[in-house]
């Protein structure tokens, strides 16, 4: 394949691109086979459930506005039927024999009723529209709150599960956005049904033979609408992986954090070629969809026109046979047109409800799945302090991982100790730290604070007693103060103390608005920090928590040698009377730890003091001597 790059031609084979299997294969879209097999009757069977779900969401958002919308829409349909029946009286008076002025006078009462019915219908429909417009933002708010309440409550390990992540993406990309649309469309569907019932009732009163004619003209359009909706949805499912890859590439090309490396490594051409490959594949699928939808629409309109012709032929035959009077036939024409409009609106709303409902179902499915991933409530509160933390034969595996991250790990941490976890990348250090922090639940084994098994302890109460200084800390788009306090307030003195201990006071002193400075340049008056400055803010965040257990996961990764030495001195001073779990690759920093655990491929290979491990001449000694030799060589 030849791809033309902006700025000049560039010949590139698809084989030269990274593996794009997850983009090309439709198997990622788990609903593809199910949705492709849906037909008109299946859609019809699904509608009541969709309407119930939509009205349930609407009722939760605002019972008053829901009742007002449905009631006013129904009454509008009643007055539509009343107006049609009154029209029969008008036509009967106008078509009878006699002078025109007398016929008009005879028709005036019925005309007055038609006018009153039209006024009442318009007023009721306006009221229903007002109540419906009030519902939409309320529905949007509660669905957003429901989604984000659940995503912030599920186990952290869910975000390491590809299936959970994909379900979340589907719920966020379209499902949540469709909630207010589904409610609005469900109400439109009910309004269409009321209009159909009004027209059908009038036709049934006028002559039973007229009723089947109403369906004859619109069933083909209904078939075409449902088929087009199914095509759009199945196509959207197939394209989700491609659009996700496309979005990722767009972010790489247009994001501030990647802009420097895109230029440094001259990746512009490479990324644009990847983007072009995905975009062209998406374009082919969308062009094919347009072709198939056009064929279905033309076929539906052709059959619909044939049906309408048959309606008027049937009316003509009934008039010729004297089965219906002329006035009734005239009213029947108006009723059929009214019913046709209502049925057309109903089918349009049904089409939208079906299509939007498919996406909305993704949202509901995710909500149900996420609710099942919320940890059960635990009544036991974590101890205020501890004498010893014991990790006993803990095992843990990430979802879909080929091998366990931890295999029978046992660790002991005494109160007031500085305990270090060391090892090469992938050895399980951070995973073990997250288990100790109450972020992951072990698959096997136990973690105890004295005699309290953490499997029985409320996780939030545990986390309030633990402070974490992480290497991959979040750079919150908040003020400097809120980046330290993280939503908890202990007073100005505590904020200042934490900043001074971490060395962040010097960073904040240079900010234009001090602690009130917004740390995000994307906003007006926002300010950006360097990596080392952010690290100091993150350290202050951990010190501000003032918890009995402080977990430091590579806390000096972004600091220079002088700042690193100063930080470790501060940690040692801050640890007076507290317990510190230190994770680091820089083994010179753990020499004074009370105990060092060396992890290797998820197991504790060695443990002891620095001197004991050096004397053991094992993995720790190898790693330490390698680093020491590197410094001596430098």
The predicted model gives 277-297 an average pLDDT of: 86
Same domain assignment for residues 141 and 273: yes
The domain boundary, picked from 312, 337, 371, lies at 371
Measured distance CA(335)–CA(337) in Å, rounded: 5
* Structural domain contains residue 90: yes
Answer whether residue 232 shows pLDDT above 70: yes
pLDDT of residue 607: 93
* Structural domain contains residue 349: yes
Residues 6+ apart with CB under 8 A from 590: 420, 422, 582, 584, 596, 610
CA-nearest of 6, 329, 343 to 189 is 343
Answer whether residue 406 shows pLDDT above 90: yes
Residues 6+ apart with CB under 8 A from 517: 479, 480, 508, 511, 525, 526, 527
Same domain assignment for residues 354 and 392: no
The predicted model gives 493-516 an average pLDDT of: 89
* Whether the Cβ atoms of residue 202 and residue 331 lie closer than 8 Å to each other: yes
Q: Which residue has the higher pLDDT, 634 or 375?
A: 375
Measured distance CA(558)–CA(561) in Å, rounded: 10
The predicted model gives 441-451 an average pLDDT of: 91
Lowest mean pLDDT among 90-104, 280-294, 469-483, 576-590: 90-104
* Structural domain contains residue 12: no
Lowest mean pLDDT among 22-31, 249-258, 324-333: 22-31
Measured distance CA(574)–CA(500) in Å, rounded: 11
Answer whether residue 242 shows pLDDT above 70: yes
Per-residue pLDDT reduced to its tens digit, 171-226? 887 778 788 888 888 888 888 888 878 877 777 777 777 777 767 766 776 677 66
Measured distance CA(483)–CA(485) in Å, rounded: 6
The predicted model gives 85-100 an average pLDDT of: 62
Look up the domain containing 153 and give its range.
17-371
Answer whether residue 90 shows pLDDT above 90: no
Answer whether residue 25 shows pLDDT above 50: no
Same domain assignment for residues 161 and 190: yes
Same domain assignment for residues 240 and 324: yes
* Structural domain contains residue 8: no
Answer whether residue 603 shows pLDDT above 90: yes
Lowest mean pLDDT among 361-365, 398-402, 627-631: 627-631
Q: Which residue has the higher pLDDT, 71 or 80?
A: 71
How many folded domains does the chain comprise? 2
Indicate which CATH number applies to the domain containing 113: 1.20.1560.10
* Structural domain contains residue 383: no
Instruction: Report CA 537 to chain centroid distance, whole Å.
Output: 30
Measured distance CA(76)–CA(70) in Å, rounded: 10
Q: Which residue has the higher pLDDT, 310 or 132?
A: 132
pLDDT of residue 421: 92
pLDDT of residue 88: 66
Same domain assignment for residues 154 and 22: yes
Same domain assignment for residues 354 and 462: no
Indicate which CATH number applies to the domain containing 480: 3.40.50.300
* Structural domain contains residue 425: yes
The domain boundary, picked from 343, 371, 399, lies at 371
pLDDT of residue 93: 59
* pTM for this entry: 0.69
Per-residue pLDDT reduced to its tens digit, 299-354? 877 877 777 677 777 777 777 777 777 767 677 777 777 776 777 777 777 777 77
* Structural domain contains residue 299: yes
Measured distance CA(536)–CA(520) in Å, rounded: 16
Same domain assignment for residues 60 and 203: yes
* Structural domain contains residue 147: yes
CA distances to 37, 90, 569 from 101, in Å: 62, 14, 107
pLDDT of residue 120: 86
Answer whether residue 396 shows pLDDT above 90: yes
Lowest mean pLDDT among 215-219, 283-287, 374-378, 467-471: 215-219
Q: Which residue has the higher pLDDT, 250 or 37?
A: 250
Same domain assignment for residues 396 and 301: no
The predicted model gives 146-162 an average pLDDT of: 87
The domain boundary, picked from 336, 371, 406, lies at 371
Q: What percent of the chain has pLDDT over 90?
A: 11
Per-residue pLDDT reduced to its tens digit, 526-570? 888 888 888 889 888 888 887 888 888 877 665 566 666 676 777
Same domain assignment for residues 126 and 208: yes
Lowest mean pLDDT among 39-43, 432-436, 624-628: 39-43
Q: If DSSP codes are grouped into helix, strand and coil, which group holds residue 409?
A: strand
Answer whether residue 29 shows pLDDT above 70: no
Lowest mean pLDDT among 1-5, 300-304, 598-602: 1-5
pLDDT of residue 4: 37
Answer whether residue 26 shows pLDDT above 50: no
Same domain assignment for residues 265 and 171: yes
- Between CA 333 and CA 339, with CA 338 as vertex, the angle to 5 degrees is 95
Same domain assignment for residues 393 and 285: no
User: Strand 418-422 relative to strand 444-449: parallel, antiparallel, unpaired?
Assistant: unpaired
pLDDT of residue 257: 76
The predicted model gives 3-11 an average pLDDT of: 37
The predicted model gives 503-531 an average pLDDT of: 87
Residues 6+ apart with CB under 8 A from 497: 543
Same domain assignment for residues 97 and 71: yes
Q: Which residue has the higher pLDDT, 27 or 616?
A: 616
pLDDT of residue 22: 43
Answer whether residue 116 shows pLDDT above 70: yes
């Amino acid at each position: 394949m030849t791809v033309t790059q902006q700025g000049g031609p560039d010949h590139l084979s698809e084989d030269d691109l990274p593996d794009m299997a997850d983009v090309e294969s439709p198997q990622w879209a788990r609903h593809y086979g199910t949705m492709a097999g849906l037909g008109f009757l299946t859609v019809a069977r699904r509608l009541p459930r969709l309407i119930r779900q939509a009205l349930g969401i609407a009722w939760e958002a605002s019972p008053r506005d829901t009742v007002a919308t449905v009631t006013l829409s129904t009454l509008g349909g009643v007055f539509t039927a009343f107006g049609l029946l009154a029209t029969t009286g008008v036509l009967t008076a106008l078509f009878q024999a006699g002078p025109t002025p007398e016929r008009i006078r005879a028709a005036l009462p019925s005309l007055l009723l038609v006018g009153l019915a039209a006024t009442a219908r318009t007023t009721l429909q306006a009221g229903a529209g007002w109540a419906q417009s009030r519902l939409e933002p309320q529905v949007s708010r509660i669905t957003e709150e429901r989604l984000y309440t659940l995503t912030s409550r599920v186990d952290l390990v869910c975000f390491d599960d590809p299936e959970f992540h994909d379900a979340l993406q589907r719920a966020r990309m379209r499902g949540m956005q469709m909630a207010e649309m589904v409610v609005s469309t469900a109400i439109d569907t009910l309004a269409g049904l009321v209009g159909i019932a009004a027209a059908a009732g009038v036709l049934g009163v006028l002559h039973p033979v007229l009723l089947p004619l109403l369906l004859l003209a619109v069933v083909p359009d209904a078939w075409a609408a449902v088929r087009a909706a199914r095509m759009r949805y199945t196509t959207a499912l197939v394209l989700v992986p491609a659009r996700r890859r496309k979005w990722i590439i767009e972010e790489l090309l247009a994001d501030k954090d990647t802009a420097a490396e895109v230029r440094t490594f001259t990746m512009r051409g490479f990324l644009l070629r990847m983007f072009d490959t995905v975009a062209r594949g998406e374009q082919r699928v969308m062009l094919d969809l347009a072709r198939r939808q056009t064929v279905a629409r033309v076929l539906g309109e052709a059959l619909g026109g044939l049906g309408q012709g048959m309606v008027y032929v049937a009316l003509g035959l009934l008039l010729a046979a004297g089965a219906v009077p002329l006035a009734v036939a005239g009213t029947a024409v108006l009723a059929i047109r009214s019913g046709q409009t209502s049925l057309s609106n109903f089918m349009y709303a049904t089409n939208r409800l079906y299509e939007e409902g498919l996406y909305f179902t993704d949202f509901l499915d995710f909500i149900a799945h996420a609710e099942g991933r919320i940890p059960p409530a635990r009544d036991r509160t974590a101890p205020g302090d501890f004498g010893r933390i014991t990790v006993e034969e803990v095992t843990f595996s990430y979802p879909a991982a080929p091998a366990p991250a931890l295999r029978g790990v046992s660790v002991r941490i005494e109160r007031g100790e500085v305990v270090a976890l060391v090892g090469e990348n992938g050895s399980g250090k951070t995973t073990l730290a997250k288990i100790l922090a109450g972020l992951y639940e072990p698959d096997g084994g136990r973690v105890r604070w004295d005699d309290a098994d953490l499997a029985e302890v409320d996780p939030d109460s545990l986390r309030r007693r633990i402070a974490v200084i992480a290497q991959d800390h979040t750079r919150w788009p908040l003020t400097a103060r809120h980046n330290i306090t993280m939503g908890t307030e202990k007073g100005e003195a505590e904020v200042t103390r934490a900043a001074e201990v971490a060395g962040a006071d010097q960073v904040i002193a240079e900010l234009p608005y001090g602690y009130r400075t917004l740390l995000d340049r994307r906003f007006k008056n926002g300010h950006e920090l360097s990596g080392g400055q952010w690290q100091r803010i993150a350290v202050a965040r951990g010190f501000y928590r003032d918890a009995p257990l402080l977990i430091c996961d590579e806390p000096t990764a972004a600091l220079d040698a002088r700042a690193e030495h100063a930080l470790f001195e501060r940690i040692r001073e801050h640890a007076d009377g507290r317990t510190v779990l230190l994770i680091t690759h820089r083994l010179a920093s753990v020499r004074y730890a009370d105990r060092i655990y060396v992890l290797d491929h998820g197991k504790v290979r060695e443990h002891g003091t620095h001197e004991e491990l050096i004397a053991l001449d094992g993995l720790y000694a190898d790693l330490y001597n390698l680093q020491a030799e590197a410094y001596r060589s430098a």
